[in-house]
Amino acid sequence: MSQPHVMPSLEGEKLTLDEVGPRILIGGSILGVVGFAAAIAIGVGRNDHLASLGWSYLLNFAYFLSLSLGALFFVAVGHLTRATWNVVSRRIGEVVAVNLVLMAVMAIPLMLMASRVFPWASGLTHAPEELLEHKRPFLNLPFFYLRWVVYFAIWAGYAVWFWRQSVAQDRSGDPRITMRMESRAGLSLLLFALSVNFASFDLLMSLDPTWFSTIFGPYYFAAGVVGFFSLLTLLTFFLQSQGRLTRAIHVEHYHDYGKLMFAFVFFWAYLAFSQYMLIWYANIPEETAWLLRREENGWGWIGLVLVFGHFLVPFAGLLSRFTKRLRATLFLWALWILVMHWIDLYWVVMPEIRPLDPGLDSLDLLCFLGFAGFYAAALSRWAGAHSLLPERDPRLQDALAFENA
């Protein structure tokens, strides 16, 4: 198709982090160390065998894990569909996905604390032993550890592979690399879907070992994807504020970020409601107990915050083409959704731990800071001296010239 408008030129465009990289690496590392040091100091002082530290750690682990899983989905689904528009932001996605390596390391403390954190392992549960007994073949620590090794082998394996291939193409310009990534994207997404599903059961659903919801995996997945697209928007704006990728990513690409945020906000709400309505309608005690805990003792208010804040308000706010194409509004919605995504996971995790107290624990925020610091530091580490753009991707020119009809 003819393109009568002017193609953005990359002449003189800054494509590497350079001096910004070490600043983030050092600043993030300091934030991470300080955050976790304070969390550990408070957690040890609690005299509860690190249980409350473990739960706050789990919450934030699930949060940052979901963002990187969303990134891996973004990269793989782009290859599977031979997407053009996302080539300009694919490297950012690849780098966020490679943080699954960081999350694999961060999983080790969680595994060490697992016997205190997970009720089926600690025995601190209201569930009768006979019910747990039937789940023992699945919910036992050795098998649990083994599953997490498999999950991270799949996630980090694919994330690093996609990233390495893409970086290698920067040097060689070989179009066969693109074809190879496309041909493997299908299997990667199949394994991704299965592993994310079971990981969400292990990490979040098993906090109430007697409860089950078959839609829970997609619920966690959708929340992670909408979180990732919000993060992608913030990272793009951050890089552009530092004078990187200022012309490569433009309003047409923001518009697509906005569309995907909008779509996955709705998809999240669709799944959340589907889960809620079936439990409400069937009205079976073993299923309703989970929701009842989230309606009593003030937790219902947080549920309402999610109905409005995670669905109705951003749905209305992102509905118009105008708000998706304006930097300021898109930035605010991205920030808003990232906060709501955290509250969503808080609402999933904490009623199992503190059913009588919906208030924030200082450990929740300190662990967040710790994770955020290391997460940012690792991002700048992977971005390193590489280009922030897949410079020699065969579809890059079309991606630069991309326009929404």
Partner 1 sequence: MSEGSKVYGILLEFEDPQNLVVACRKVRDAGYTRWDAHTPFPIHGMDAAMGIRGTRLPLLILAGGLTGLALALLMQWWMNAVDYPFLISGKPLFGLPANIPVTFELTVLFAALTTFFGMWGLNGMPRLYHPVFKSARFRRATADRFFIVIESDDPLYQTEGTSDFAASLGAVAVEELED
Binding positions for partner 1, 384-403, rule CB under 8 A: 403
Binding partner 1 (rule: CB under 8 A), the pick from 26, 30, 41, 277 is 277
Instruction: Report the C-alpha gap between 63 and 254 in whole angstroms.
Output: 24
Q: Can you state the percent helix, strand and coil of the chain, rounding each to 5? A: 75, 0, 25
Helix then strand count (H, E) for the chain reads 16, 0
Site string for partner 1, 293-322 (x = CB under 8 A): --------------------------xxx-
Residue 355: count of CB within 10 angstroms of its CB: 15
Helix axes 87-117, 141-172, angle to 10 degrees: 160
Query: At closest approach, how far in Å is the CB of 106 from partner 1?
Result: 38
The amino acid at residue 150 is: V
Query: At closest approach, how far in Å is the CB of 2 from partner 1?
Result: 5
Q: Is 356 in the site for partner 1 (CB under 8 A)?
A: no
Site string for partner 1, 4-23 (x = CB under 8 A): xx------------------
Residue nearer to partner 1 on the CB measure, 182 or 398: 398
Q: Is 331 in the site for partner 1 (CB under 8 A)?
A: no
Q: Is 126 in the site for partner 1 (CB under 8 A)?
A: no
Q: Is 124 in the site for partner 1 (CB under 8 A)?
A: no
Q: Is 171 in the site for partner 1 (CB under 8 A)?
A: no
Residue nearer to partner 1 on the CB measure, 47 or 283: 283
Residue with tokens 């552009």: 240
- Residue 134: Cβ-neighbour burial (10 angstroms; 0-12, 13-18, 19+): exposed
Instruction: Report the C-alpha gap between 61 and 66 in whole angstroms.
Output: 8
- Residue 142: Cβ-neighbour burial (10 angstroms; 0-12, 13-18, 19+): exposed
Question: Of the listed pieces 68-76, 143-151, 277-285, 340-348, which binds partner 1 according to CB under 8 A?
Answer: 277-285
Residues in touch with partner 1 (CB under 8 A): 1-5, 273, 276-277, 280-281, 283, 319-321, 403, 405
